[in-house]
Chain A
Amino acid sequence: MISYHESIAIKGIACAVPSSIELNADISDYSKEELDKIIGTTGIVARRVAKQGVKQTHLAEKAIEKLLNDNEVNAQEIDIVVVVTQSQDLTLPGNSFILQKSFGFREDCYFLDINQGCAGYVYGINIAMSLMSSMNAQKAIVVVGDIITEYIDSSDSYLKALFSDCVSATLLQSTADSNLSNFSFFQDGNSYDVIHANKDAEDSRLKMDGLKVFNFGLSKLVPSISEFIDSLSISIDDFDFFVLHQANKLLLENIRKRLQIPENKFIYSIGEFGNTSSASIPLSICEGITKTQLKGDKKFLICGFGVGLSWGIGSLQICDLNCSDLIEVE
């Protein structure tokens, strides 16, 4: 199934990360040779790690504040807020309620909290666009990202070397231009336990079968992206940028080569920021593409994949995207 949206544009993105940087080269559990292989394979040199007690909404507030200021939009103008996270501040209610209080979003604004992981940006944008069309809304904000490191056992050097914290906010606005966007989604619930955290288990932290996740990426993503592009009757050459979830550089390079995507169109943020869960696509757009490159009408292919297992692919037409400078939070 493919969803179609028109006359809705992505206008701006702002991302907030913790200021604290951890280097994979400093992980003490591995030899120098092993660390070189980990860094070479994953592509991850540095990660951002939130201090204990920092909540998802703390980073979200910084990102939203920057997004509203840089795009000269008042919180009262926002009609829809979609929050995609696995890092709920409270068991209930969802983080959107906390963000409404922080910014004074209108009572008749539509709020939606979604539990999704690394495919979450694609889900969030698609849902926000669907809601905007059905409600004739003018402006929406999509907040995605996690304090994913809070799920990581600090003695688990394998997972510690991968994950990093970030929350992003994206502004969507209705437009007179046709501005076509398309999305396609997939889910394999048979593999729900490949990446999971069980609050009732003795050890409730994140568990991941890295080899199975990697194999899923090798087997599913290239055919799904190829079919998606074919179904739109366009080609790889029609896209200016390819922004995939930043899971692992070895996997991403495999996908890039098999789809024959030129290196200069394939965007990375994984080296300096690691795997930032659902925020990795907006973070890569802001940190992996220069402001000059974003000028004018650009076509993006985005693809998020991970927990579920789930994966989503999107084609976005974006004109003069306003990427805010990165916010670093204590």
Chain B
Amino acid sequence: MMPSRESFLELFENQFENVKPGELTFATPLRSLSEWTSMQALIVLTEFNENYGITLNVDKYRSVQTIDDMYSLVCETLNTDD
């Protein structure tokens, strides 16, 4: 089942130690987040796997610019897996 935009944003925010609830928007560029490192990318990938049962295409994952792009990729992957 597709996650709602709100629940997705909440899940994404929860992966960051230094981000307060409600601080991020779908337009937030990932590169603007100081915590967005290679290790953080693994954590988010794992969280998507555990919550949505998916593994993302790594090349597409790397090309994601904003949280909105990330949401679209997750939805696209869920659609493909169905």
Contact = CB atoms under 8 A, between A and B. Distances in A.
A210 B50 CA distance: 19
B33 interface: no
B19 interface: no
Given A211-B45, A212-B58, A215-B58, A257 B50 contact: yes
Interface residues of A, number: 20
Contact of A218 (B38, B40, B41, B46): B46
B56 interface: yes
Contacts of B46: 218, 250-251, 254
B45 A215 contact: yes
B65 interface: no
B33 to A, nearest CB: 13
* Size range of the chain B interface in the assembly: 10 to 19
A218 B62 contact: no
A219 B55 contact: yes
Interface stretch (A34-42, A165-173, A293-301): A34-42
A211 B58 contact: yes
B38 to A, nearest CB: 6
Contacts of B1: none
B50 to A, nearest CB: 6
Given A211-B61, A215-B58, A34 B42 contact: no
Interface in A245-260: 248, 250-251, 254, 257-258
Contact of A37 (B39, B45, B56, B58): B39
Among B42, B49, B58, chain A packs the most CB atoms within 10 A around the CB of B42
